[in-house]
A = this chain, B = another copy of it.
Amino acid sequence: MLYLIGLGLGDATDITVKGLEIVRRCSRVYLEAYTSMLTVGKGALEEFYGRELLLADRDMVEQEADGILKDADVSDVAFLVVGDPFGATTHSDLVLRAVTAGIEYRVVHNASIMSAVGCCGLQLYNFGETVSIVFWTDTWKPESFYDKIKRNRDMGMHTLCLLDLLAHVCRKIFEPARYMSAAQAAAVTEDTVCVGLARVGAEDQAIRAGTLRELASCDLGGPLHSVIVTGHLHPLEVDMLRLFTSGPSGLQSLRTMDGSTCVS
């Protein structure tokens, strides 16, 4: 059996009891380490789980999947994924390879950034298409996400913008770890109410609501970051966002999309 197990978003203790029990009895345990990260490293996970973890980078998952699936028809193999195994990144390829090889699989779900962003008070129902915003380089500055945000906003929908992690974790690229911060993504868009979220689910998570301009000048700390560009705001959503503004001036800026100021 191949188990795809979500680790959630915070630290080692965010694994579910079900997931932990499976990890402890599998013959091999892989840690997917290229799309996201927890606030703790491999060592802390190994200590808490009581198991050695085999790091699976992108190359291994894409080119050496047979090694991961080896003997999974007669023994149990776990593949650990930060967040949910089918959240921001899906692992359809691995699942399809397993099924083709006659190997059964099971998914142990956990929190994903795709739903955990609801903690800022914006209704998940009211989100449109999610967009990815990558780290701009001198020669690569993709802007297609603008159109999607605009389309969502035209319908009054919120947009979750996931900012990429260009970190050194398991990458065979000798490049300093860097990541796109909420401030950077915010700087490239307009003067609308948005929410910056960093390290959602972790002890030191940071959430800040305000205009994009305000957000661009605030430092939410280390990765991972995401930004929500709001659409139409329900009064209850505004009340919640107020919890994450910085002082009275921040409160002022929270208006509904039609321009009427929300008075508390």
Chain A residues packing against B (C-beta within 8 Å)? 6, 8-18, 20-21, 84-88, 90, 92-93, 95-96, 99, 107, 109-112, 114-116, 118-119, 121, 123-132, 151, 155, 157, 200-201, 236-237, 239-240, 243
Contacts and interface: CB of A to CB of B under 8 A. Distances in A.
A115 B8 contact: no
Nearest to A157: B129
A153 B244 CA distance: 34
A9 B118 CA distance: 17
Given A114-B115, A243-B99, A17 B18 contact: no
Copies in the complex: 2
A151 B14 CA distance: 37
B8 A13 contact: no
A16 B9 CA distance: 11
Given A17-B14, A92-B239, A96-B240, A9 B121 contact: no
7 contacts: A10-B18, A13-B17, A87-B124, A92-B121, A114-B124, A127-B130, A151-B155
Interface of chain A, main secondary structure = mixed
A128 B125 contact: no
Nearest to A9: B109
B129 A88 contact: no
A86 B17 contact: no
A201 B109 contact: yes
A124 B261 CA distance: 33
A96 B238 CA distance: 11
Given A84-B116, A87-B118, A110-B110, A96 B130 contact: no
Contact of A84 (B16, B20, B118, B131): B118
Contacts of A115: 84, 86-87, 109, 111-112, 114-115
Nearest to A96: B239
A25 to B, nearest CB: 13
A15 B17 contact: yes
Contacts of A243: 95-96, 99
